[in-house]
Amino acid sequence: MKLMLDTIEYRSKPVGKRAGSISNRIIKNPVDISIEELAKNLVKGKTFIPAYFREKEGIIKRNKEYWHSQEIIALDFDDGMTLDEAVKEFSNTACFIYTTFSHTEEKHKFRVVFMLDRIIHKIEEFDEIISGLITKYPQADKHCTDCTRLFYGGKEIILLNYNNRLVVNDYVKNNPNDSGGTKKNLVIYPAKNTKQIQTNECKQGKETADNIELIQQRNIKELRAKIRTKPKIVYNNFELFNYLKQQDLRAYLGIQHKQNFLDIFHEESNPSASIYQSNKGNEHQLYKCFSTSHPFVGTIIQVTERLLECSILEVKAFLMELYQVEIKESEQQKELKLVIDIYKELLQSDDLEELYPNFYKVFNRYNYLQDMYVLLDLVKEYLPSGEDPRLLFYHSLDTLSKRFNKSKSITHTRMNFLTFFELISKLNTNEIPKELYDSQLKSKRKKGHKYLNSTYELKIYGYEFFNRIDDMCALWIEKGCTTKTMNYEGILRNFGRVEADRVFPQDKGKVIPSLNKEIVHRIHKTTLEFIEYYGWTTEQEVLENVTLYFKGQKTFKQNQFKICFGELLDGYDLERVRLTKELKEKLKIEGKGYGFIIKRREYIEEIMIDTPESYENHGIFD
Beta strands in 217-340 (DSSP E): 232-234, 273-277, 285-289, 296-298, 325-327
Q: What residue type is assigned to position 568 of the chain?
A: L
Domain identity same for 469 and 550: no
- The pLDDT of residue 207: 66
CB of 448 closer than 8 Å to CB of 139 = no
Calpha distance 403→410 (Å, rounded): 12
What average pLDDT score do residues 602-607 get? 46
Calpha distance 127→120 (Å, rounded): 11
How does pLDDT run across 548-582, given as a tens digit for each residue? 888 888 889 888 998 888 888 888 889 888 888 88
Residue 545 lies in a domain: yes
Calpha distance 609→462 (Å, rounded): 45
Percent of the chain exceeding pLDDT 90 equals 42
Calpha distance 119→568 (Å, rounded): 64
Q: Which helix (H) or strand (E) holds 110?
A: strand 110-120
Q: Which of 544, 524, 556, 537 is nearest to 595 (CA)?
A: 537
Domain identity same for 337 and 299: no
Q: Which of 26, 66, 32, 65 is nearest to 49 (CA)?
A: 26
Domain identity same for 310 and 335: no
619, pLDDT greater than 50:
no
Residue 391 lies in a domain: yes
β-sheet bridge partners, residue 74:
113
Q: How confident is the model at residue 231 (pLDDT cuts 50, 70, 90)?
A: very high
CB of 470 closer than 8 Å to CB of 356 = yes
CB of 130 closer than 8 Å to CB of 149 = no
Q: Which of 61, 59, 58, 57 is nearest to 49 (CA)?
A: 61
- The pLDDT of residue 84: 87
How does pLDDT run across 279-313, given as a tens digit for each residue? 877 889 999 998 888 889 999 999 999 999 998 88
Helices (H), 405-512: 408-420, 434-447, 463-478, 488-495, 497-503
Choose one of 429, 453, 478: the last residue of a domain. Answer: 478
CB of 291 closer than 8 Å to CB of 263 = yes
Calpha distance 423→84 (Å, rounded): 35
593, pLDDT greater than 70:
yes
What average pLDDT score do residues 331-348 get? 86
Percent of the chain exceeding pLDDT 70 equals 90
Domain identity same for 308 and 410: no
- The pLDDT of residue 174: 55
What average pLDDT score do residues 480-503 get? 91
The upper half-sphere exposure of residue 572, i.e. CA atoms within 13 Å in the direction of its Cβ, equals 30
Domain identity same for 368 and 321: no
Beta strands in 241-284 (DSSP E): 273-277
Domain identity same for 335 and 271: no
Domain identity same for 204 and 134: no
Q: Any idea what DSSP says for residue 537?
A: E
Beta strands in 186-284 (DSSP E): 232-234, 273-277
Q: What residue type is assigned to position 514 of the chain?
A: S
CB of 211 closer than 8 Å to CB of 226 = yes
Residue 257 lies in a domain: yes
Residue 437 lies in a domain: yes
Q: What residue type is assigned to position 110 of the chain?
A: F
Calpha distance 35→42 (Å, rounded): 11
The dihedrals phi and psi of 322, each to the nearest 5 degrees, come to: -65, -45
Choose one of 457, 478, 499: the last residue of a domain. Answer: 478
- The pLDDT of residue 446: 67
- The pLDDT of residue 219: 95
Residue 73 lies in a domain: yes
Domain identity same for 219 and 340: no
- The pLDDT of residue 51: 95
Q: Any idea what DSSP says for residue 448?
A: T
65, pLDDT greater than 70:
yes
How does pLDDT run across 110-124, given as a tens digit for each residue? 999 999 999 999 999
Contacts of 64 (CB under 8 A, 6+ apart): 123, 147, 148
Q: Which of 321, 280, 325 is nearest to 299 (CA)?
A: 280
- The pLDDT of residue 110: 94
Q: Residue 488 CA to chain centroid, in angstroms?
A: 21
End-to-end Cα spacing for the chain: 57
What average pLDDT score do residues 600-617 get? 46
584, pLDDT greater than 90:
no
How does pLDDT run across 248-259, given as a tens digit for each residue? 999 999 998 888
Contacts of 75 (CB under 8 A, 6+ apart): 111, 112, 114, 133, 134, 137, 140, 141, 144
Calpha distance 42→346 (Å, rounded): 57
Residue 458 lies in a domain: yes
Q: Which string of DSSP letters, residue by residue, matches 380-414? A: HHT--SSS--SEEE---HHHHHHHHTS-HHHHHHH
Residue 189 lies in a domain: no
What average pLDDT score do residues 417-429 get? 89
Domain identity same for 131 and 49: yes
CA angle 97, 100, 106 (to 5 degrees): 100
- Count CB neighbours of 269 within 10 A: 10
Q: Any idea what DSSP says for residue 106?
A: S
How does pLDDT run across 317-337, given as a tens digit for each residue? 999 999 999 988 778 888 888
How does pLDDT run across 68-87, given as a tens digit for each residue? 999 999 999 988 888 888 99
The dihedrals phi and psi of 276, each to the nearest 5 degrees, come to: -150, 165
Calpha distance 390→475 (Å, rounded): 28
- The pLDDT of residue 186: 38
Using DSSP, state whether 97 is helix, strand or coil.
strand
Label residue 540 exposed, middle or buried (CB < 10 Å: 0-12, 13-18, 19+).
exposed
Domain identity same for 562 and 424: no
Domain identity same for 81 and 97: yes
Calpha distance 236→439 (Å, rounded): 14
Residue 494 lies in a domain: no
**Residue-number span of the structural domain to which 402 is assigned:** 331-478
Using N-to-C axis directions, what is the helix angle for 368-381 and 357-365, rounded to 10°?
90
- Average pLDDT over all residues of the chain: 84
Beta strands in 555-595 (DSSP E): 574-578
Domain count, the chain: 4
CB of 100 closer than 8 Å to CB of 12 = no
Q: Which string of DSSP letters, residue by residue, matches 51-85? A: EEE--BTTB--SSGGGEEEEEEEEEEESSS--HHH
Domain identity same for 294 and 348: no
Largest CA distance in the chain: 101
Judged by average pLDDT, the poorest of 26-35, 519-528, 587-596 is 587-596
Top pLDDT among 176 and 547 is at 547
